Structure 1
Amino acid sequence: MLEFRRSSFCDDPVSFLSGNSIMGKLVGFVLGLGVTIAYGLIWVICYISDRLFFRRKKDG
């Protein structure tokens, strides 16, 4: 996530800081939201798989 921001900042720092600051914030927000959603989905999948695994373990 930080490397995306760093590369876009290094490519065009002036427009990133002045003209496209809203776009930069939007990109950062979207990236952060995507990472948060992905982390949440991974946590849910791991939680469900753990529950199923324990349930199978008890049955077996």
Structure 2
Amino acid sequence: MTPGVAMPQRFHLRDAQAGMPAADWQEAFATLWPLLRPAQLSPLALFTNLDEPSNCCCG
């Protein structure tokens, strides 16, 4: 490990929801959606070479 370099860590929203009752996470999302509506999104990027592994870590 190189000092001063951040190590990637897994984070997925489903991990946090795994132990929550459905009503609890639905209530949390009800308050989150209005905050996300005005969010600026990055331009759309199309992935053309699906045969190569991506740099994305999903588990």
What TM-score results when the alignment is normalised by the length of structure 1? 0.29
Considering only CA atoms, is the larger Rg found in Structure 1 or Structure 2? 1
Greater share of helix: 1
